[in-house]
Structure 1
Amino acid sequence: MLRKNGKLGKKVEEILVGEKLHLTETIEDKDLLLYLGLTNDSNPLYIQHDYAASTPFEKPIVPAIMLNGIITSAISKHMPGPGSHIREQNLKFLNPVFHYETIDFMLQVEHVDAKQHVIDVSVRAFNADKQPIVEGIFKVSPPY
């Protein structure tokens, strides 16, 4: 939690087009159970192996909103960091993520509009087999 004199993220005038952030996340049972418990989401596709086996996925998948959460957390913590605010997002979920998969996320600043106080951050994510998982763009207001 940011304390009274805590460090804020980068201000709009400190951000450069082309800046990148790479992070790797592995989806663990604890993460899934926390999400499902907090949201009261009981979709059998996420947790029931017998149901998931009868679908084209063949095994339980990770909720797309969890992947979204990893991305928004990276924006809040690192790019541009604490004090920032997501104003808009457009994401495509291209392939499913299965339990225990490791996902590589790449975020990049695509545009800086100092006058409107907004930056565009693109995101791409891939699984260990280099299949695309997520792609999209976020419009973010950096800290003031």
Structure 2
Amino acid sequence: MNLLENYPINELVVGQRATYSKTLTEQDITLFAACSGDLNPVHLDKEYAATTPFGEPIGHGMWTGALVSAAIAMRLPGPGSVYRSQSLSFKHPVKVGDTVTVTLIVSEIKERIKLVTLECEAHNQEGKLVAKGVAEVIAPAQKQQLAEGALPSIAIG
């Protein structure tokens, strides 16, 4: 069992950073398409994707955006955070087998209203910038340690 620990507003400092990484799989693309409803063939159809400038299926841009959300929820500030807003621009495609690492950096803290601004960057395993943006998060007021949630078994069909 993994424990998650957050950083309440009074423990955050400008310049503080955290990272979160995940490798994109074909199953991730299928699950993201299923839950989002985005069935664009550039993600799901190898033959079609081969005719695009990418030459092969690419991950949904918002899959990378979801990694930013995961980084906030799991790392900085962590459990108890409330994701308020996100700007995000996509710089390069993410393909199956790419490992994306999201880096969050605290750039501003408004302690009175518990609002934290985070610079967000996502790079692939080659160090290429794939997405960049800024998030605003309401930081938790209290320190917490929680057990990481467990995913139920699911069937893809």
The answer to whether TM tops 0.5 is yes
- 1:38-70 per-position Cα deviation (integer Å, ceiling 9, x unaligned): 223211010111111111111111001111111
Whether 1:137 and 2:134 are equivalent positions in the alignment is yes
1:82 to 79, 83, 88: 79
- TM-score for the superposition, normalised by structure 1: 0.89
Match of 1:114 in 2: 111
- The alpha carbon displacement at 1:7 in A equals 7.3
- After superposition, residues 81-100 of structure 1 pair within 5 angstroms as 81-100=78-97
Encode CA deviations 1:5-51: one digit per residue, 9 max, x unaligned. x9772221111111111222110122222111222321101011111
The list of structure 1 runs, each at least 4 consecutive aligned residues, that deviate by more than 6 angstroms after superposition, is none
Q: Name structure 1 gaps, 5 residues minimum.
A: 1-5
- List runs of 5+ in structure 2 lacking aligned partners: 142-157
Question: 1: distance between equivalents of 2:102 and 2:124?
Answer: 9
Over residues 74-129 of structure 1, what are the superposed CA-to-partner deviations in whole Å (9 max), with x where a residue is unaligned? 10122101111111111110011111111222111111110222001111111122
Q: Secondary structure at the match of 2:77?
A: coil
2:14 is aligned with 1:17: yes
Would the aligned equivalents of 2:20 and 2:67 in 1 still touch at CA under 8 Å?
no
Aligned mates of 2:89, 2:4 — CA distance in 1: 32
Secondary structure at the counterpart of residue 119 of structure 2: strand
Q: Does 1:49 align with 2:46?
A: yes
Aligned length: 139
Q: What is the SS of the residue equivalent to 2:29?
A: helix
Letter in 2 for 1:60: P
| CA distance in structure 1 between the partners assigned to 2:130 and 2:68 by the alignment | 12
2 CA distance for matches of 1:126 and 1:77?
18
**Percent of residue pairs identical:** 27
Asked if 2 retains the 8 angstrom alpha-carbon contact of 1:8 and 1:83, the reply is no
